[in-house]
Amino acid sequence: MMQMNERKLKILAAVVESYVRTGEPVGSKMIASLPEIHVSAATVRNDMAVLEQLGYLEQPHTSAGRIPTILGYRLYIEKLMSPADLPEEERERLDHMLGVNGNGNQMSEELLIQNATTALAELTQCAAVVSDFSPQFSVISKVEVIPTGKRVYVILLITSGGSIKNKACRLEFDLTKEQLSWFSGYLSEHLEGISVSELSDELMENLTAAMTAYMMSLAPLVQGVFELYRDLRQHALLCKGEKHLFSYEDLDKMEVVRFIEHKDELMQLMDDSFSGIRVVFGKDRENFVIGNSSMIVSKYRKGRKNVGSLGVIGPMRLDYAKVIPYIAYFSQKITDLISEQSEQTREPCPDEEDQKKI
Amino acid sequence: MMQMNERKLKILAAVVESYVRTGEPVGSKMIASLPEIHVSAATVRNDMAVLEQLGYLEQPHTSAGRIPTILGYRLYIEKLMSPADLPEEERERLDHMLGVNGNGNQMSEELLIQNATTALAELTQCAAVVSDFSPQFSVISKVEVIPTGKRVYVILLITSGGSIKNKACRLEFDLTKEQLSWFSGYLSEHLEGISVSELSDELMENLTAAMTAYMMSLAPLVQGVFELYRDLRQHALLCKGEKHLFSYEDLDKMEVVRFIEHKDELMQLMDDSFSGIRVVFGKDRENFVIGNSSMIVSKYRKGRKNVGSLGVIGPMRLDYAKVIPYIAYFSQKITDLISEQSEQTREPCPDEEDQKKI
DNA sequence: GTTAGCACTCTCATTCTCCGAGTGCTAAGT
DNA sequence: ACTTAGCACTCGGAGAATGAGAGTGCTAAC
């Protein structure tokens, strides 16, 4: 009697779906009128009372219909819903939004991630968040110092992930050809081929010491290198489409503003290790505090390593069956694309080094 | 009788200031109680009735106090208010927010503009907007093609404004040294020293033609150059702190969302030529349609040319006396900084070219 | 185990009432 | 001719009263 059965699950699913669609508490009559339910409203009522006792549903007040509890959503997501599948044409559309244009054209990981975020925000009408620490796993493939204008030098740093960083530095005087090539050579020698995660403060300090020993007034350049190093190590958190959050009645505006200003609190949550797709509900954890909201995240990988997570934040009342497949598709696609790139660029590495040492 | 006088102006100013502070319609009693007003409430009432007839004030409804009309705000801003002045320490704080750190350190114009936007949004708790077309007035100071990884080439483009653009392109095969240096040389020869505004579609097409004539399969590189060109010509519109707009009761959320999604409609308005500081009120113009909002903009210059505008968008009920000085200071500071930079980098140009042609 | 019937509960929208802030006008004061 | 006290008037908005309707739980019959 007090236990679950097929029909109760069906009713739970129906409640979730109807509530997600309309935002109104769902009554027994409404449920009974559904084609897939073949019992009367009274029976539905009995079942709903049980579902409430079990903690899957709740009533905002006595004479209203039921709405799902967090527990209810969770059960629905894990066991009951049938995720929409993406027809071929839909996938093409998604690829297009990612900027993946058929011809295996070069595209930096950074841009890919950005496009994914924008696309996800657009598609789901939610805030899309990405926590990306893939740069940490890429290798510095090139460092150059380029004179440009008087006394101005641009340091250029390229990683195997295809991200290109640069920084202009102004010196007090112009470098001679020898000085420039020494500096440039020194940097190449000590940085190229090193993976970003191997870059340590220690290593950088040695570098700094060596270079300022060579010539004190290189300091601004050294400083530039240091800043680039910090940029590289930075763990990027990207967020787009926050504005959508303001259109949901059931999210508290104040909490949304707070969230926007303290996004970084999320990082820990996103970086937790987990596999597959994870759904977290607002106020469930202390570092994600928008009431009535939920966050859906998935990891993406580079080769076998998790290098980031992407997902969306929206109202708890969200069409999970639609949103989850998007996230799944994007995380898979990104994994494919950056893994493939890393294959292509990691292979040549030894070659390059050989060439250099000739 | 029906005409302006000292006291009426004082009352108007008092109404504006009180309304800006509290957001409540202002009654005669409130005004009469102010120390700077030495007449009774009845007299104030008479004056306010006149101010209403003249169109400077209005009543939301009969038994409420008065609030300023657009005309009222305008008069206040132009004639009545006394802009707060910025004490030395405040300026230092602002400079710090701009990222101007004493030592005349190199800083790209782009970054400067970005910092200004962020700072303005933060200081005023409004949305800050910047329309920047300074890149158009800068000169391409360097173009390089750098091989990196197998079959991947990075095109690097540096302008006198200090902005550095790059693009990675993948070819079907590796270039020989000769091919690379030809390509690189050709680009340098035809692009360096040219001001961005001189770059025309025509010029680019000639370039494309010449290069693909030399070798068909350079196409991806040529494509890369073309994309960089488009990036450069792009007229940047930057906007930060939109979120603040959601906390103002008197701005319609829907209109704010619409604004965020169609910011570019603003461009025209911001690019109009005007001098000094301009205040535009929402719904005043058809391309700025957030009701009860106002936008305050100022041009900034590079040398003698207007190269952009920056400002804020907030509720009409805004502390103009505080906000306007910020905008004035920033636009002046930016003007100073980028003009100075352009002096420093424009001068050397001939030198560089000489060096090259040796 | 299911269902119809019914009394009951509680929200929400509507209506009504009334308070008070603020006004405009008038008449008296300077 | 201006200023001011006094007063009647207006109107929005808060709060109480009311009623309709949606939804429930329970009971008794199927």
Count the alpha carbons within 13 Å of A204 in the hemisphere toward its beta carbon: 18
Q: What's residue A40's pLDDT? A: 94
Q: Does B351 touch chain A (CB under 8 A)?
A: yes
Output the tens digit of pLDDT for each of chain B's 358 residues. 568 999 999 999 999 999 999 999 999 999 999 999 999 999 999 999 999 999 999 999 999 999 999 999 999 999 999 999 999 999 999 999 998 875 545 678 888 999 999 999 999 999 999 999 888 888 898 898 988 877 888 899 988 877 888 888 888 888 888 888 988 998 999 899 888 888 888 888 888 888 888 888 788 888 888 888 888 888 889 999 998 998 898 898 889 988 988 888 888 899 888 999 999 999 888 889 898 999 999 999 998 889 999 999 999 999 999 999 999 999 999 999 988 755 554 444 333 333 333 3
With CB atoms and an 8 Å threshold, state whether A146 touches B142. yes
Q: CB atoms < 10 A from the CB of B148, how many?
A: 20
Structural domain boundaries in chain B: 6-80, 88-133+236-345, 140-233
With CB atoms and an 8 Å threshold, state whether B146 touches A141. no
Q: Is residue A346 scored above 70 in pLDDT?
A: no
Phi/psi at A171 (5° precision): -100, 175
| DSSP reduced 3-state for A281 | strand
Closest-CA residue to B179 (of B201, B141, B151, B137): B151
Is B223 near strand D, with its CB below 7 A from some atom of it?
no
- From B42's Cα to the closest Cα of chain A, the distance in A is 42
Residue A158 CA to residue A109 CA, distance in Å, equals 12
Q: What's residue A283's pLDDT? A: 86
Is A2 near strand D, with its CB below 7 A from some atom of it?
no
The answer to whether A310 and B112 are in contact (CB under 8 A) is: no
Closest CA-bearing residue to C1' of C23: B63
The string of DSSP letters for A201-221 reads HHHHHHHHHHHHHH-GGGHHH
pTM for this model (two decimals): 0.84
Is B27 near strand C, with its CB below 7 A from some atom of it?
yes
Q: Which fold has domain B6-80?
A: Arc Repressor Mutant, subunit A (1.10.10)
A108 chain-B contacts, CB cut-off 8 A: 168
Residue B189 CA to residue B184 CA, distance in Å, equals 9
Q: Does A143 touch chain B (CB under 8 A)?
A: no
Is A270 near strand D, with its CB below 7 A from some atom of it?
no
- A–B CB contacts, 8 A cutoff, strictly below: 99
- What pairs with residue A237 in β-bridges? A131
Residue written as token pair 């797709």: A277
The residue among A254 and B27 whose pLDDT is bigger is: B27
Residue A242 CA to residue A222 CA, distance in Å, equals 38
CA of B1 to C1' of D4 (A): 17
Q: Which of A253, A257, A345 sits opposite B149 (nearest CB)?
A: A345
The closest nt to B45, taking CA to C1', is: C23
The string of DSSP letters for B98-154 reads HT--SS-----HHHHHHHHHHHHHHHHTSEEEEEE-GGGGSBEEEEEEEE-STTEEE
CA of B72 to C1' of C30 (A): 33
Q: Is residue A158 scored above 60 in pLDDT?
A: yes
Q: Does B220 touch chain A (CB under 8 A)?
A: yes
At A81-114, the pLDDT tens digits run 999 999 999 999 999 999 887 554 567 888 899 9
Q: Which of A106, A246, A257 sits opposite B257 (nearest CB)?
A: A246
Residue type, B330: F
CA of B42 to C1' of D7 (A): 13
At A293-316, the pLDDT tens digits run 999 999 999 988 899 999 999 999
B261 chain-A contacts, CB cut-off 8 A: 243
With CB atoms and an 8 Å threshold, state whether A160 touches B169. no
CA of A322 to C1' of C24 (A): 62
What class has domain A140-233?
alpha beta
Q: Is residue A289 scored above 70 in pLDDT?
A: yes
From residues 233-272 of B, which are strand C contacts by CB within 7 A?
none
With CB atoms and an 8 Å threshold, state whether B164 touches A166. yes
Q: What's residue B287's pLDDT? A: 85
- What pairs with residue B237 in β-bridges? B131
Q: Does A276 touch chain B (CB under 8 A)?
A: no
Count the alpha carbons within 13 Å of B123 in the hemisphere toward its beta carbon: 27
| DSSP reduced 3-state for A308 | strand
With CB atoms and an 8 Å threshold, state whether B150 touches A351. yes
Residue of B nearest to A122 (CA): B261
Q: Is residue A1 scored above 70 in pLDDT?
A: no
Closest-CA residue to B353 (of B107, B198, B140): B140
To the nearest whole number, what is the mean pLDDT of chain A?
Answer: 88
Residue type, B269: L
Closest-CA residue to B68 (of B52, B45, B46, B84): B52
Task: Tell me what the mean pLDDT of segment A121-146 comes to.
Answer: 91
Q: Is residue A235 scored above 70 in pLDDT?
A: yes
Is A5 near strand C, with its CB below 7 A from some atom of it?
no
Q: CB atoms < 10 A from the CB of B172, how many?
A: 8
Please tell me the CATH code under which domain B88-133+236-345 is placed.
3.30.450.40
Residue B180 CA to residue A358 CA, distance in Å, equals 20
Is A152 near strand D, with its CB below 7 A from some atom of it?
no
Q: CB-based contacts of B12: which residues, under 8 Å, 6+ apart? A: B51, B56, B57, B68, B72, B75, B76, B80
Closest-CA residue to A155 (of B164, B243, B298, B75): B164
Is B48 near strand C, with its CB below 7 A from some atom of it?
yes
At A316-332, the pLDDT tens digits run 999 999 999 999 999 99
- Least confident span in A23-37, A53-67, B94-108, B177-191: B94-108
Is A25 near strand D, with its CB below 7 A from some atom of it?
yes
Using a 7 Å cut-off to protein CB atoms, list the covered nucleotides of chain C: 1-5, 8-11, 20-26
| DSSP reduced 3-state for B7 | helix
